[in-house]
């Protein structure tokens, strides 16, 4: 379990990745896929971040499908 989320270590679908997350409040722990832009590495996430536009670099886990069918990313940590 990671951050309250059960992770299947053998699943090729849900992975940790660097991303830029559009978030007004940095207290949320999960984000819909349309708020997350995956990046190649940590440096790219920092470079693409725009705090003035509420786009923050993060390490996320996902995508995962919620019970409502929404694709979600879960925050591992802000960078």
DSSP string for residues in 18-59: EEEEE-SSTT-SEEEGGGEEEESSHHHHHHH-BGGGTEEEEE
Residue 50 belongs to domain spanning: 15-78
Nearest to 57 by CA among 21, 25, 23: 21
> For all residues of the chain together, what is the average pLDDT?
87
Q: pTM here?
A: 0.82
Q: Does 26 score more than 90 pLDDT?
A: no
Confidence class for position 67, pLDDT limits 50, 70, 90: confident
As for how many domains the chain has, the answer is: 1
Residue 41 maps to a domain: yes
In a domain, 7, yes or no: no
Contact 73, 31 (CB under 8 A): yes
């Amino acid at each position: 379990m990671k951050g309250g989320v059960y992770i299947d270590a053998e699943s090729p679908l849900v992975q940790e990745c660097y991303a830029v997350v559009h978030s007004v409040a940095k207290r949320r722990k999960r984000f819909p896929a349309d708020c997350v832009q995956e990046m190649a590495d940590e440096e790219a996430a920092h470079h693409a971040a725009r705090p003035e536009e509420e786009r923050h670099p993060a390490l996320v886990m996902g995508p995962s499908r919620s019970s409502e069918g929404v694709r979600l990313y879960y925050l591992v940590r802000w960078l």
